[in-house]
Chains A and B, each alone.
Chain A
């Protein structure tokens, strides 16, 4: 039996309810203290009262702000780094080992250090978020740009395209998943100019194609 996507979603939702129910049941049955494991009903109640009294809102805003800034910074830097490494063998050889090693360091372990260096403000949070999304974006950009097929590269060579044109008008769109290629590109590249400042702006404005970073 093959469930339809709708059925699959319903099943997932049902499973969620069952798990919540189990959790509630376990807490009540064993009489666990809220300090050890609060029941879902208690969590919901606390959440509601926090939201209703307005106590949570400034914190939610700060968290979202940090998240958004970190995501943007990490994505842009990851994207640019991926493009640079994809375009230059030398850069890749020299820098890739460091990038990989830096990934082995658990990011959260850096939190106390960052707080020490940058204080308690927004900056350390943004930096850690940026660090977390930097790597997947760089890696995906690098592999995406490298998988352009030889025939289309020859086509661009035949048409006398510059390196930048080949990057922006062939490798970048080829690296996107087909669904995005189809919807984002036609209007984006329609009569797209060969002048590069405007192309550059477009490349930056365009949504990153990688899977969302696991934050």
Chain B
């Protein structure tokens, strides 16, 4: 599909099929390649298999056929080298927000003061500085999902798999966090696969967009908007043109 097929992709999903027992395939022959440092958005309507594909890419599910290749080696088991954010926040409610963010660290080794500082900085970046000592019960849904995002980022993994991370946020917070995420990932050279059902968000964030329908990737686009994205672009003709094209494809896939 892509011309630079000769170079080794960072993440290579090859003809992957996944079926839950006794059902039609949920992921039905997906091929997708990501180069290092790229930001890809996976778009599609509810129930089309986005979360399942993301879990396959993480190694949480094993494909019935096909394979997932991460940096040249077949993915054997999930591990902390991949940052994963679940669709639901999935926090541990007996730990404070800070300790939740530090969980990936504390499962590897004893967190150092620098780790705590990094976690606090992340929380601060996500607008949660004053909630570090609060427990998940005391946080709103959007705040919980931001804690979960900080937890996915804290080990600075080279690959991030995010499942609708901003779905529970208002438009303004969401726009701020989108810019934050883009900047952080650009600075670290992180490769990101980002699931969303918001066309606007996909066009704003993505270098590429894959449109999923019925377990297949039915359409994909390369977005060539100028590199550091600016909120003002959202009103430009190029941006709206992309949105309209994606929207048309989604409507077409639905019928």
Contacts and interface: CB of A to CB of B under 8 A. Distances in A.
B93 A161 contact: no
Question: Range of interface residues on chain A?
Answer: 20 to 34
B103 A190 contact: no
A44 interface: no
A158 B103 CA distance: 12
B86 interface: yes
Given A158-B60, A159-B104, A190-B99, 18 more contacts: A154-B86, A155-B90, A157-B60, A158-B78, A158-B79, A158-B82, A160-B107, A160-B108, A161-B107, A169-B107, A178-B93, A182-B93, A185-B95, A186-B96, A192-B106, A194-B106, A194-B110, A195-B110
B78 A193 contact: no
Given A158-B60, A185-B95, A191 B90 contact: no
B78 A182 contact: no
A170 interface: yes
Contact of A160 (B80, B92, B110): B80
Contacts of B94: 173, 181-182, 185-186, 189
Interface string B53-75: 00100101000000000000000
Nearest to B55: A154
Interface in B83-114: 84, 86, 88, 90, 92-96, 99, 103-104, 106-111
A165 B86 contact: no
B58 A158 contact: yes
A163 interface: no
A151 interface: yes
B197 interface: no
A28 B227 CA distance: 97
Contacts, number: 63
List the 4 closest pairs (A to B, CB-CB), nearest first. Answer: A185-B94, A181-B94, A160-B79, A160-B80
B135 interface: yes
Interface string A141-184: 00000000001101111111100010001100100001001100
A142 to B, nearest CB: 21
Determine the main DSSP class of A at the interface with B: helix
A182 B106 contact: no
B78 A194 contact: no
A171 to B, nearest CB: 12
A194 B103 CA distance: 11
6 contacts: A152-B92, A157-B78, A173-B94, A182-B94, A182-B135, A194-B108
Nearest to B111: A191
B187 to A, nearest CB: 24
Nearest to B78: A158
A195 B108 CA distance: 10
Contact of B107 (A152, A154, A173, A194): A194
Contacts of B95: 185-186, 189
A63 to B, nearest CB: 37
Nearest to B84: A158
B86 A151 contact: yes
A170 B106 CA distance: 13
Most buried by B among A152, A158, A159, A161: A158
Most buried by A among B55, B82, B106, B135: B106
B82 to A, nearest CB: 7
B94 to A, nearest CB: 4
Contacts of A186: 94-96, 99, 135
B11 to A, nearest CB: 16
B60 A154 contact: yes
A157 B86 CA distance: 13
Contacts of B103: 159
Contacts of A151: 86, 88, 90
Contacts of A156: 107
B99 A160 contact: no
Nearest to A195: B110
